[in-house]
Amino acid sequence: MEWLDSTEPLWFALFVVTAFFNGRAAFKLLVDWKGMLTTCRFVEDAYASLTTLPDEAALEHAPAAPVFVHLVPAYYEPAIAGTLASLLGSRYPHGRLHVIVTTREEEDRAPHPRMAATTAELVRRFRDTLPPWQQKMLTLVVAPASRQRKAHQLNWALQPEMLRAVLGESCDPAGVYVGVSDADSLPDRNVHRWIAADVLAGRGRLAYQGVTLSLANFDHLDHRGRVCAIQQSSIFIRVSIARLINEARRVAWFGRLRTRAPGLARVIRPVFELGFRRAQICLGHHQFVRLDTLQALGGFPSSGVTEDSTLGYALGARGILIGALPMLEVVDLPESTEKMVCQNARWYKGVLDDIGFLARTWRATPSAFNLAQLARHAGNKVIEWPIAAVVYPLVGFLGWHLAYRFSDEPVLLLLGIALPSISLGLTIWVGGIVTQDLIESLTPYLPKSVNVARTTLAAKFWGTFRCQTYWLLATRGAWRVLLTLARGRTFEPTKTDRVG
């Protein structure tokens, strides 16, 4: 090709690289758009059929209806009463729902100076205000000090003696689901009822992850905070839940292929698992795992900072598909820039910790699926998270610049101009406009009344053109971890401060 022979190889290679990344960015935004539409339809269909779910009386007399042990790990949580009231108000037989709050001994030793009482004491006071039948549903335990923190709190509540005290001696672990909510969670009252209906219909999964939106404190946020609340919420609908829905579809498709053409399925299985399977994401709240499955895993993973992401990988490694749960939950967004950066730093430290878990898993079972999980985690999270905010704008600019370097080649000129332009346009359209519209479409179903509409010109402008603000703060969080480790120091993640 004459144009290739006459072009400096370095510039052409750079053109190919920038075209790839610009095309990849545009493709990912289209996938995100499709993912949000999939999740929103899933949620809307579920709420439209709520009236078909069995009521409390029917579930009370259904022997196969599951028992729920709902855990709430808490540490310096002044507003925990709201979460407990929401859980205890669930539309589920009270004899089959048990809420266990696990606080930490460190808080009793060093109370927060701006809290009226420790979290444990607040739970006791709240319990005293309840009628006797709800008091029986609520249990408080205090976990001793441990570096494992949240995972330790969760596992402490699941000790055999604790479960026997709550469930009795003869309870079958296969009939018990362990739910997790954070101390700022406000779940839908029908969440347990929906899972029970799924189980009674014969579709029960070993694990579920529900839809979470960071909108509980939306009214208290400034312009920047509201933009970030919408963007953080979009992660859960464009990636987390959409991936669970689509992963189940892909595995079902491969199952049908294996039935019809077992020989072909056996040959292409490594390619399918390496190229088309995706990691399952647990969020650490609004999640449910069957007790026997959790016990087989040895409890909640404690090898890293974020036990939730590790749990998702551990379930996937055992071939367990997490079911998507359409009932909504709202949680708080950190109310300051510094708190958002700290939250993302903690999550990124968990990403680094998961490398060790995934490497050990692959060495123990060197399958194509486990290799794909390790490779994608390293590429899409460990590497891309800290650099995406710089790389994508840079390759966009280079794409435009190099297009004119190849202006004598119409195809290259068109690609060089079109790909960065499409990527930028989709960033504004999907990130700033479509995301807002779809989040707004879900607000009628929220367990708490929240108005996220952009009512002023300033709100519409900043919400559209500052839609990347949250991702820049996430990048700052990742670099905070990397720079700390590069200096030879240990990064100690901090809990989001919800006291003040």
Question: Which region among 132-136, 269-273, 347-351, 466-470 has the lowest average model confidence (pLDDT)?
Answer: 466-470
Sequence-ordered list of residues with C-beta below 8 angstroms from that of 413, at least 6 positions apart, any chain: 403, 404, 406, 407
**Under 8 Å between Cβ of 395 and 21:** yes
Lowest mean pLDDT among 181-195, 259-273, 402-416: 402-416
Residue-wise pLDDT for 377-387, tens only, equals: 999 999 999 99
pLDDT at 463: 81
Query: Would the pLDDT of 3 be above 80?
Result: no
**Model pLDDT for residues 200-218, shown as the tens digit of each residue:** 999 999 999 999 999 999 9
On average, the pLDDT of the chain sits at 92
Q: How confident is the model at residue 5 (pLDDT cuts 50, 70, 90)?
A: low
pTM recorded for the entire structure: 0.92
Q: What pairs with residue 208 in β-bridges?
A: 288, 323
For the chain, first and last CA: distance in Å?
66
- Alpha-carbon distance of 342 to 494, in angstroms, equals 7
Residue 16 pLDDT greater than 70, yes or no: yes
Enumerate the β-bridge partners of residue 67: 176
Cβ contact 105:145 at 8 Å: yes
141-145: long-range pairs with CB below 8 Å, 24+: 141/100, 141/101, 141/102, 141/103, 142/102, 142/103, 142/104, 142/105, 142/108, 143/102, 143/103, 143/104, 143/105, 144/105, 145/104, 145/105, 145/106
CA distance 493 to 358: 21
In the DSSP assignment, the letter for residue 219 is G
